[in-house]
Structure 1
Amino acid sequence: MTQTDPLSAPKLSFAERLGIPAPLFWGFVGLLFFMIGDGVEAGYLAPYLEGHGITSRDTAFLFTIYGVTVSISAWMSGPLSDLWGPKRVMWIGLVIWAVFEVAFLAGGVETGSYSFMLFAYAMRGFGYPLFTYGFLVWIAAATPARMLGSAAGWFWFAFSGGLPTLGSLFASFAIPVIGEMSTFWASLGMVMVGGLMALLLTKEPTGSKRLAPKETAASTIFFSSLSILWREPKTFIAMIVRTINTSSEYAFLVIMPAFFTKVIGFSLSQWLQLLSIVFLSNILVNLLSGIFSDRVGHRTVVAVGGGIGAAIMVPAFYYVPQMYPGNFFVAAVIGALYGASLAAFVPLSGLVPQICPKEKAAALSALGLGAGASTWVGPAIVTWFESWHGIEGIIWIFSGLYVASALMTLALTVSPEARRYLEKMAVRERNASKAAARGDIASDLALGERA
């Protein structure tokens, strides 16, 4: 008879030991490559266009319209995943990205047609949110509750690791070797490799199915993901805080390349490397802020580390490099602290589902809408206020917005009713785990006796 230890825990795979659901492992890897491709252009598209006759105002407007379509698509990814299944939504996002990237480069950038650029880039904006946020819905649907926090952390790690961290780093090395235009085309190849890797190698079945009950009408699904903003006002506040979170990031992608290359004296490659350092710090703190928030509280990390931290670091990122012109090390340190302050907003993703525990998907859709909105709000602030006091005025607008986000975060409390519901669900989950463990032990004993 084989001796079996009934107390031994089941062996975890390498992915599970890292906190990644094993059936979705290749989805995370593919997401990283997809976002590297999407992020290649982030640090140099604006200076490239301005160097080829497009005004800074027109460039900012291009990014603003792109951001509008991104925000619409980010919101649609949730309801569409409920209707069609996340995997189909991801396929649609990949195809949209590829088709309109070809149109943007061949019909817009290479011909110099601003109107065609505007159309193609705006349409491409529907692509990456359907792919990425569709995968986030897949994670939420297929991941055990005990792993949701770490899985969400790894999602944002892969997301921001590609856009713009490794994407900008790739561009900094590729541009001197193959040139700017060829680097744009290389990004398309990277996106396709990542997208196909995620979709063809990930076999987990939940993502291929409609998530909403069959009897639920499409109109009901779409309406509930919007109506939660006024039915649960705290989700609306969280959406605004999430919009502020990365709005400066997308504004800086418009205004900072010229600032660091023309005022501070960096080369384009140095700027791209600086951008990579900013977001390398960001992706590392993405994971750490979630862990730290479990100890000191989600609201504390978001309000202090995120809101107040970013309110200080945004002006520092502008003023300190001017005190040390050409000093890459000083700029890198300040940039890393700025990136860390943006990452301190990550616990919002854990706080909002606690505020609305019965409608987690709809609540996360509100955060998705905020994340998408930040991609156009940032460039829009540049478009509207650059003529006011130039870059300096824009810097102080963002600093004020971050102070406001810290104050708004204080209102994001979990109600007693929500706490009771969460405690009830936790007890139910623990009981289910114990029952499953007893069943596994009984099965192991039976196998041992037969042996």
Structure 2
Amino acid sequence: MKDSLSKKNESTWMGIPKIIFAALIAIFIFMTGDGIEQAFLSKNIVDLGFSSSQASLVFTVYGVMVVVGSWLAAVLADVYGPRKVMVLGTSIWLVFHILFLVFGLGMENYNMMILMYGIRGLGYPLFLYGFLVWVTYITDKARLATAIGWFWAMFSVGMGVIGTYLPSYTIPHIGFMGTLWMSVIWIALGGIIAFYVVSKRNIKPNADMPIKERYGKVLKEVSIVYKNPDIIKVFLVRIINQLSLFGLVVIFPVLFTEIIGFSMQQWLWIWGTMHITCIIGDIVWGVIADKIGWKRQVMLFGCIGCGVTTLLFYYLPVLSGDVFAIATLCAILFGITQSAFVPIFAIFTALEPNHIGATLSSHNLAAGLSNFVAPAMATLILPIFNEVGVVWAFAICYFIGAVITYFIKVRQPGIEVYSVTETNTQTQY
């Protein structure tokens, strides 16, 4: 009762607690540190004398641990509280990143690279998704999509923009290793700011229970949410959500530079423009979704929109040749539709509002699996049907996602329900 009163009276902006905007600074800083390596680490490993397949294995193991960390984040946040999970994530990232640099890259020890970088993969999802649990608990559910939109915008600013472009300025001056060491500063600073801000509205779910009972409750809830058919549906849509985002980047660099005729720098500008568009789109679509309906937006502008823009992103540049303006326009359109998926997180929470931790663990697992499904599809389809086959496979998945979304039954706070089933149970469609 006390928490609900403080929540009711707390200062807000756009219906969102202002404290969230302060905490988003930490997300931007932390994800900048985490994203610094993405554009060059694989090349750095190859330059040390290892093969491309060996470098790929390092990232594969890392990806597995990201999936594990993504699932654990929400579960542990419900047991120990989001703040402790975020501190754990920050600590794991810092410790194992330093060990990776010293005993892995520094000593050119491949086994240590896999081990240390893999364990470090637990760090960022624990921090990131622990933060999402905190946001979910303190935000009015009718404004949750808006809050999540701002969250993903700051995520994109850090990892997708600053984290991508910053190394191009630092590597010529301090080298690969110096740039990797620099990320420690960003992560530590982001973690400290997050700890300070989150402490001002610290959430402790199930605090009245002993630890053992908390685990029992949370694990029981995990089994409960997967019995909800609508959770399964939105789980599948969440995997589909980022197929093109993670899959096109596997095939498009070669397509755009070696076949269409763009330079690598032009391709990076094109892909970077997509990320910048997502930043704006995440914020705008978050607000729009709270007005027009989460499900409607995901179905029409997310699924159908991404299916169409994925095809446009391939066909228009192929047909027009190396016309930078056309390729950039395609990237912008794709970024707009990709960011329309923002409210899918809110849909998860609305389906099982009494099992937040377990529900978010399902969301996070789906998000992690998207990282694997996309490149796996590209790897399997590319040798048989070339790039066009991969693009059509992604597009078809999006159109299937629209059909799945149509059959999800979810009630959105703040939106008048306009469809009634035969049993007079009101459900938004």
Question: After TM superposition, is the score higher than 0.5?
Answer: yes
1:318 matched residue in structure 2:
314
Instruction: Confirm or deny: 8 A CA contact 2:222 2:359 kept in the other structure.
Output: no
Instruction: Confirm or deny: 8 A CA contact 2:247 2:378 kept in the other structure.
Output: yes
Find out whether 1:291 has 2:277 as its counterpart: no
Output the CA distance in 1 between the equivalents of 2:362 and 2:51: 34
Aligned residue runs from structure 1 range 174-213, under 5 A: 174-207=170-203, 209-213=204-208
Q: Which amino acid aligns with 2:200?
A: E
2:233 matched residue in structure 1:
237
Instruction: Confirm or deny: 8 A CA contact 1:169 1:273 kept in the other structure.
Output: no
* Structure-2 change in CA distance of 1:290 and 1:420 (3 Å): closer
Output the CA distance in 2 between the equivalents of 1:85 and 1:171: 35
Query: Which sections of structure 2, spanning at least 5 residues, go unmatched?
Result: 1-7, 418-429
1:132 matched residue in structure 2:
128
Instruction: Confirm or deny: 8 A CA contact 2:225 2:358 kept in the other structure.
Output: no
Instruction: Confirm or deny: 8 A CA contact 2:149 2:285 kept in the other structure.
Output: no
1:214 matched residue in structure 2:
209
2:138 matched residue in structure 1:
142
**Deviation (angstroms), 1:128:** 0.5
**Deviation (angstroms), 1:101:** 2.2
Find out whether 1:226 has 2:216 as its counterpart: no
Instruction: Confirm or deny: 8 A CA contact 1:312 1:399 kept in the other structure.
Output: yes
The one of 343, 349, 363 aligned to 1:347: 343
Instruction: Confirm or deny: 8 A CA contact 1:353 1:364 kept in the other structure.
Output: yes
Instruction: Confirm or deny: 8 A CA contact 2:145 2:290 kept in the other structure.
Output: no
Task: Report the identity percentage.
Answer: 33
What does the per-residue CA deviation read over 1:376-420, in whole Å, with 9 as the maximum and x for residues that have no partner? 22233344444434444332322222122111111112379xx99
Q: Which amino acid aligns with 1:374?
A: S
1:29 matched residue in structure 2:
25
The one of 83, 87, 91 aligned to 2:83: 87
**Deviation (angstroms), 1:303:** 1.6
What does the per-residue CA deviation read over 1:310-343, in whole Å, with 9 as the maximum and x for residues that have no partner? 1222233234333455443322221121122211
**Deviation (angstroms), 1:109:** 4.1
1:394 matched residue in structure 2:
390
1:413 matched residue in structure 2:
409
Aligned residue runs from structure 1 range 319-338, under 5 A: 319-338=315-334
**Deviation (angstroms), 1:126:** 0.6
Find out whether 1:247 has 2:243 as its counterpart: yes
Instruction: Confirm or deny: 8 A CA contact 1:314 1:398 kept in the other structure.
Output: yes
The one of 360, 369, 376 aligned to 2:372: 376
Instruction: Confirm or deny: 8 A CA contact 1:238 1:352 kept in the other structure.
Output: yes
* Structure-2 change in CA distance of 1:40 and 1:175 (3 Å): same
The one of 49, 52, 66 aligned to 1:70: 66
Output the CA distance in 1 between the equivalents of 2:383 and 2:44: 22
* Structure-2 change in CA distance of 1:336 and 1:177 (3 Å): farther
1:367 matched residue in structure 2:
363
* Structure-2 change in CA distance of 1:54 and 1:242 (3 Å): farther
Instruction: Confirm or deny: 8 A CA contact 1:43 1:257 kept in the other structure.
Output: no
**Deviation (angstroms), 1:147:** 4.8
Find out whether 1:166 has 2:162 as its counterpart: yes
* Structure-2 change in CA distance of 1:75 and 1:12 (3 Å): closer
DSSP 3-state at the match of 2:408:
coil
Greater displacement, 341-350 / 215-224: 215-224
Query: Which sections of structure 1, spanning at least 5 residues, go unmatched?
Result: 1-9, 422-451
